[in-house]
Structure 1
Amino acid sequence: MRHALTRHLRRLLLLLAAATGIGWLVGYTLVALLIAIAFYLGSTLVQLARLHHWLTSSGAGVDPPESTGLWGEVFDDIYRLQKRHFSARDRLQTMVNRIRESTNSLRDGVVMTDAEGAMEWWNHAAEYLCGFRTGKDRGEYIYNLIRDPEFRGYFDAKDYSEPLEIASPARPQLRLQIQINLFGEDDRLITIKDVTRIHQLEKMRRDFVSNVSHEMRTPLTVISGYLETLSEQTESIPPGWQRPLATMQHQANRMEALITDLLLLSRLETSERRTGDAVCYPEPLLRQIQQDAIALSGDQQHRITLSIDDSHAIQGDENQLRSAFSNLVFNAVKYTPAGGTVQIRYGVDDDAIRFSVTDNGSGIDPEHIPRLTERFYRADPSRSKETGGTGLGLAIVKHILYNHDGHLSIDSTPGQGSTFTCSVPIERIIREGA
């Protein structure tokens, strides 16, 4: 290109020199120069017109106009750039087509929307699961097609740490799990899974546990009653039978506690989250739990303190909250050595109502903490046998907090103790005059 530009400048200078010479000979130097410049500008405009026509009206792969000199090299360079551009475009289009084909083969639905929720693209599975229509719903807001208040709130909240489970808008018999990921400038990539089978299996499991627990309660009550009657007849029972009867009575009590917790957990899992109309007064509730914990401590003489920084009533089910808070406090008493300290705190900060229980017991290894709220999970099975725990307490706490839009956090250091904190939204406080 540099050599072509040099040759072009030489030709222009030769043209001007020749025009100057001819003009001097005929006595019209200025006129000759103007004619030469006009000729040069005219030829340049012709080449620009040819370039414009080629760029605007030709398709991919059309040869450039024939030309020489600088303009010939400009045409050739642009043609080479075009070929590279079209080649890159074809590769990208091939890649996009493969991505679309592979995405359409997925059993899970995939939807792309902009930041406002306008639908840009979706695959075949999303059409089946949600009833989207190709060619008609493009540009529609997704929350106008999935008309579920929970989905709209989930979409707008931008907190996608947990998936949302709702019924399909097109096929109510299907249960869908929706997960949203942000990309670009708050655009959304939405994945939709059919979890109907898992939902049905979970319902069958809950029903089974509930039914079995109900059926076991009656015979267990009978057994416990007879064992209690026999244990009172100490004079007529041979000494060799007294210890087996005491052991049977202890195991029957454990079984009864287990059934009670299973039934409570079953009710929590199947009941609707309607706790907004109930009113709970935390202060008398916590003082009663403190007294119960002192009674549970008995001869072990734990130091159990209570700190209440806010006395406002809150929206919540008192019985459920009593069960959650007492579970945490009683666990702290059971797993703290004699003479240890259990601190109960209740207060409100900028964004949540918080109830915490701190002990100076043996603590929990970090590897166990993520699984502590699973049913029957025990960080130390031998300790649980000593304390008579059912392994369902923290699972019950988790479900109660879920019913109150809250969550449980656990902080523990082996050898130093643990802190269990219940957090529920600050909007649940009932202000005076509200």
Structure 2
Amino acid sequence: MQQNWSRNLRYTLAGLAGTTLVGLYLGYPVYGLTAGLGIYFLWTLNQTRRLGQWLANPDAADEAPQSLGMWGDLFEKLHKLNQNYLQTRDRLRARIDRIQESTNAMHDGVVMTDASGAMEWWNGAAEHLLGFRRNSDQGQYIYNLIRTPVFKSYFDAKDYREPLELHSPAKPHIHLQIQISLFGEDDRLIVAKDVTRLHQLELMRRDFVSNVSHEMRTPLTVISGYLETLVDNADELPAKWRRAVNTMATQSYRMEALITDLILLSRIETGEQTVNDATTDVNKLIRQICQDARTLSGENQHEISFEASDPHRLKGDESQLRSAFSNLIFNAVKYTPARGSITVSWFTNSLGGHLSVKDTGAGIDQVHIPRLTERFYRADPSRHKDTGGTGLGLAIVKHVLINHDGSLEVRSRLGEGSEFVCHFPVERLVEGPAE
């Protein structure tokens, strides 16, 4: 390219020199040079006009304007740049069209908004699930169309680790799960999934568990009462019946414990046990539970210690907190060998309040930890008969913590014991000693 410009410059200078020589031959060298410059200036103005007309609509012509010298090179280079731009534009447009076609084929609603929430694009499923209208809703703020305060708070919080569930603003019978992802400069990609069927199944499961548990409690109470009477008078029974009666009594107690936990879990899940605004003296509560745990330990003589760093109280429902804390501490007693140690700690820091229950038991394999809070899940099913647990303790703990804006962390390795830590946010803490 440098060579072309040098060549064009030489041609221009040669032309001016030629007109000057002609003027010199006629006796007017200055007029000859002036005429050459004037001709070159008029030609340059004409090329500039052609360039302006072409740049105004470069797609109208398949070929670039034809010219000589540096103007010809300039037209050719601009034409190549324009062709590359058109190819890149067509390729990107094809990709965008393909993405939009594939997104429109999805059953989930997809919405793109800018950082402020103004809607830029959405697919057909979003129109069905959320009731958006393509002709009138373009550029509208999405939280003005989904008029739910919880959605506005979720949108502004920028904490999208957990999805949000709500009813469709256009079709209230549809239950939606909303998940937001950030991209670009805080732009949002919003995905709305229809989880109506799952929501209905979950409600049916809760109702079924609650109803069956209540229906079973009455006959089981009668059976347990008669078995207790038989156990109290076991000396009057034939020897071959004593073992059977004792086994039935043990199993009936276990069934009663299972039903009690099922009813408690059902009440916590369905909101029958709402979290009140009372404050709980955590130190006093844990000391009581530790004393009960020592009684439960009995002949196993576990070393149970409680450490408290400050007198902070916790805002929440004391009965639910008692259920959660006692499940963790009693589990430590059940799964720790005789004469093992159990350390219970309550402490606070800038992140909130934390209850730690640490034991010297056999530990838990890492593969089981993600599923420990599932109902009836057991890391070691073979220990079911020995511990007499219901398999619902950690599920109760999880839902109690959810009700108190908390979370459960499990730290454990095989052969190294386990530590269960309940985390509560700073907003749940109340300063000062118990009243």
Q: TM-score range by the shorter chain?
A: over 0.9
Q: Give the CA deviation at 1:218.
A: 0.6
What secondary structure sits across from 1:405 in the alignment?
coil
Q: Give the CA deviation at 1:94.
A: 1.8
Indicate conservation of the 8 Å contact 1:410/1:418, yes or no: yes
Tell me the equivalent position of 1:50: 50
The reply to whether residue 138 of structure 1 matches residue 138 of structure 2 is yes
Tell me the equivalent position of 2:343: 343
Distance 1:61 1:305, change over 3 A: farther
Residue ranges of structure 1 left out of the alignment (5+ in a row) = none
* C-alpha separation in 1, matches of 2:297 and 2:82: 84
Counterpart residue identity of residue 161, structure 2? S
Is the deviation greater in 64-73 or in 401-410? 64-73
What secondary structure sits across from 1:347 in the alignment?
strand
Tell me the equivalent position of 1:75: 75
* C-alpha separation in 2, matches of 1:362 and 1:199: 38
Q: Give the CA deviation at 1:373.
A: 0.4
- Written as runs of structure 1 = structure 2, the 5 A alignment for 1:202-281 is 202-271=202-271, 274-275=274-275, 277-281=277-281
Indicate conservation of the 8 Å contact 2:113/2:189, yes or no: yes
Q: Give the CA deviation at 1:67.
A: 2.1
* C-alpha separation in 2, matches of 1:273 and 1:152: 27
* C-alpha separation in 1, matches of 2:9 and 2:312: 89
* C-alpha separation in 2, matches of 1:233 and 1:54: 110
Tell me the equivalent position of 1:317: 317
- Written as runs of structure 1 = structure 2, the 5 A alignment for 1:191-210 is 191-210=191-210
Give the total of aligned pairs: 433
* C-alpha separation in 2, matches of 1:350 and 1:3: 70
Is the deviation greater in 271-280 or in 311-320? 271-280
What secondary structure sits across from 1:59 in the alignment?
helix
Indicate conservation of the 8 Å contact 1:110/1:191, yes or no: yes
Indicate conservation of the 8 Å contact 1:309/1:346, yes or no: yes
The reply to whether residue 168 of structure 1 matches residue 168 of structure 2 is yes
Computed over aligned residues only, the root mean square deviation of the Cα atoms, in angstroms, reads 1.8
Report the TM-score, using the length of structure 2 for normalisation.
0.95
What secondary structure sits across from 2:357 in the alignment?
strand
Tell me the equivalent position of 1:402: 402
* C-alpha separation in 1, matches of 2:60 and 2:13: 37
The reply to whether residue 12 of structure 1 matches residue 12 of structure 2 is yes
Distance 1:252 1:68, change over 3 A: same
Is the deviation greater in 262-271 or in 179-188? 179-188
* C-alpha separation in 2, matches of 1:276 and 1:246: 42
* C-alpha separation in 2, matches of 1:168 and 1:62: 52
Is the deviation greater in 307-316 or in 35-44? 35-44
What secondary structure sits across from 1:55 in the alignment?
helix
Tell me the equivalent position of 1:35: 35
* C-alpha separation in 2, matches of 1:144 and 1:273: 34
Q: Give the CA deviation at 1:48.
A: 1.6
* C-alpha separation in 2, matches of 1:276 and 1:264: 16
Indicate conservation of the 8 Å contact 1:60/1:86, yes or no: no
Tell me the equivalent position of 1:371: 371
Counterpart residue identity of residue 234, structure 1? A
Indicate conservation of the 8 Å contact 1:275/1:315, yes or no: no
* 1:238-269 CA-partner distances (Å, limit 9, x unpaired): 11111111000000000000000111111111
* C-alpha separation in 2, matches of 1:173 and 1:373: 30
* C-alpha separation in 2, matches of 1:142 and 1:71: 52
Q: Give the CA deviation at 1:14.
A: 1.3
Is the deviation greater in 265-274 or in 408-417? 265-274
Tell me the equivalent position of 1:150: 150
* C-alpha separation in 2, matches of 1:424 and 1:358: 18
Q: Give the CA deviation at 1:352.
A: 1.6
* C-alpha separation in 1, matches of 2:415 and 2:134: 61
Indicate conservation of the 8 Å contact 1:23/1:33, yes or no: yes
Counterpart residue identity of residue 375, structure 2? R
* C-alpha separation in 2, matches of 1:36 and 1:2: 25
* C-alpha separation in 2, matches of 1:272 and 1:79: 74
Tell me the equivalent position of 2:390: 390
Counterpart residue identity of residue 269, structure 1? E
Indicate conservation of the 8 Å contact 2:166/2:176, yes or no: yes
What secondary structure sits across from 2:236 in the alignment?
coil
* C-alpha separation in 2, matches of 1:189 and 1:273: 36
Distance 1:432 1:342, change over 3 A: closer
Residue ranges of structure 2 left out of the alignment (5+ in a row) = none
* C-alpha separation in 2, matches of 1:312 and 1:193: 41
Counterpart residue identity of residue 194, structure 1? D
